[in-house]
Amino acid sequence: MPRRRQAVTIKHVAADAGVSLQTVSRVINAEPNVRSEMRERVQESIDRLGYSPSIAAQRMSGSRSYLILALNDRDRTIDAWRARQGSDWVDQMLLGGMLKCAEHGYRMLFELVDTHDDHVERELTATLAALQPDGVILTPPHSDNPKITAFLQSRRVPFARIGSKGEAGGIPLVMGDENAARDATRRLVELGHRRIGFIAGAADYSLSEWRKAGWRDAMAEAGLPTTELCVRGDFSYRSGRKAARQLLALEPRPTAIIASSDQMALAARDVAGEIGLSIPGALSLISFDNTPVTTFTDPPLTAIDQPIAETVSQAVELLITASRGEALPDLPVIVPARLIERGSTGPAPLAG
């Protein structure tokens, strides 16, 4: 049997260069307190031996862990995974975060936390003690959970807040939800729609209210009524069916509906079909998220694309910047969403 080649470690580099482990670690971490000739000697050994620094080696300096921790809601994440409904929030979050971490020699870890857990502080204490991350990314609804944000502030852990304006600290990043809802509503108005219903998301998400506000603003701008035309769901298909039934039972009924998630838009489509309304002939639909399922429906859904990967990528960049003590840009950081038109929207049906 051929012998397995031994992996090159930081100890091999230190021995080859004739320096201490701490000196090699300082060179790996690009710390300033290393003489240029010493840095060159260590780098020559790294290149000659083909050494790739590990997280453990990078952490030897003690200043940084080279880990970014992302927290997502436990119940909603597990429910989506088990339902296999095509949501790719987690995939997009990992795509943006992991690639950006790799650019900087970091690693991204993903944890699920129960928003309603009375022991959330104990859970976070154990996680932070074990991992000692350089920064934490909070996703909705954790982004605005005062227990979590206050805890991270008390531990002086830099944290980024996706979908939050950051009134209580941290690095806030938003995806332009209010403007996106406003643009979607304006587009429907351009198509001649005057009765535009809105299915709002769960109340514990700040972005649910921002989206509703954008819809209301655009309706007011066009001089259109909103009374009875907004119904709340919780982002799920089931809640979307209930909301759609309520909206489509109105007299006169809406000729268009904006739903705050793809699943609720799909539910509205199905309810419309059950009562004989064609899409987009009798009812136009616009959804939020733009998950893969939007392109496989008949007709494909017009959707507001949420730039999740880019937003999380920027969150990682900003956390690394903060961990180095460098200046941050103006906050909140806005990564704008965009409307992608497909077959579920069309001109308003003629009256009568």
Listed in sequence order, the residues at least 6 apart from 108 whose beta carbon sits closer than 8 Å to its beta carbon are: 67, 68, 69, 70, 94, 97, 98, 101, 316
Residue 287 host element (H or E):
strand 284-289
User: CATH classification of 10-59 is 3.40.50.720, yes or no?
Assistant: no
**174 CA to centre of own chain:** 9
The least confident of 60-64, 103-107, 256-260, 312-316 is 60-64
Q: DSSP state, 33?
A: S
The mean predicted confidence, pLDDT, of the chain is: 87
- pLDDT(187) > 90: yes
- pLDDT(336) > 60: yes
Which pLDDT does position 137 carry in this prediction?
A: 94
- Percent helix, strand and coil across the chain, each rounded to 5? 45, 15, 40
Tens of pLDDT, residue by residue over 146-162, are 888 888 888 888 999 99
Tens of pLDDT, residue by residue over 256-300, are 999 999 999 999 999 999 999 999 999 999 999 998 889 989 999
CA distance 304 to 124: 33
Residue 70 host element (H or E):
strand 67-73
What top-level class would CATH report for the domain 67-175+307-337? alpha beta
The least confident of 187-191, 209-213, 292-296 is 292-296
Q: Closest Cα partner for 200 from 191, 208, 192?
A: 208
Q: Where are the domains of the chain?
A: 10-59, 67-175+307-337, 177-306
Phi, psi (rounded to 5 degrees) for 151 = -65, -45
Query: How large is the average pLDDT for residues 75-101?
Result: 85
pTM across the whole model: 0.78
> CA torsion 272→277→280→282, rounded to 10°?
-130
What top-level class would CATH report for the domain 177-306? alpha beta
Q: Quick check: do 67-175+307-337 and 177-306 share a fold?
A: yes
Confidence label for 5 from pLDDT (cuts 50, 70 and 90)? very low
* CA 7 vs CA 14, 24, 47, 54, 224: distances in Å: 14, 17, 14, 11, 69
- pLDDT(66) > 90: no
Q: Work out the number of other CB atoms within 10 angstroms of the CB of residue 37.
A: 8
Between 65 and 262, name the one with better pLDDT: 262
